[in-house]
Amino acid sequence: MNRNAVETVMGAVVLVVAAVFLFFAYTTSQVQALGGTEYTARFDRVDGIRDGSDVRISGIKVGSVVQQNLDPKTFFAVLHISVDPKVKLPVDTVASITSSGLLGDKYLALEPGNEDDTIKPGGRIEHTQSPMNLENMIGQYIFGQTGKKPDAGGGQPGDAGSAPAPKP
């Protein structure tokens, strides 16, 4: 009988610790529904962005990505974002996908412009910049693919051997 009581108490302690952990995780995770202004933005690629990703201005979180989908006609990625209603975005705002660090999470960075006119709620952010693909950049650096076309003759411009041979 004594052993059953100890097991019951230990089980209760484990359940209380798990409940405290879940409460702590929920209160510190900043998972909350924003009742903000919705906008859309079109990108070539949205590598690393997912639903719930941050939307930041000057490093400050002002919203989140609500949904992402593919435009079936143009094959552009369309992000639907929600931004704090106190933030009014000028029409020349630029949306770019950046990361928190070399291996950090990606987020949508908004850079407001200088126009007086603002984007209407439900409107589209026209100026976007897709993320840079780090793997491709490293591969180009390693394999020397800098975008220069190879010289046909193998020499320097102006060398006698650099001109292609005349056709017979």
How far is residue 83's CA from residue 87's CA, in Å, rounded to a whole number? 7
pTM value is: 0.63
Apex 64 CA angle, 24 and 109, nearest 5 = 120
Per-residue pLDDT tens over the stretch 85-103: 999 999 999 999 998 877 7
Q: Which tokens is 132 given?
A: 């840079």
Per-residue pLDDT tens over the stretch 56-80: 999 999 999 999 999 999 999 999 9
**Length of the chain as a residue count:** 168
Mean pLDDT by groups of 10 residues along the chain of 168 residues: 82 92 76 74 91 92 93 94 93 92 84 92 92 80 68 48 50
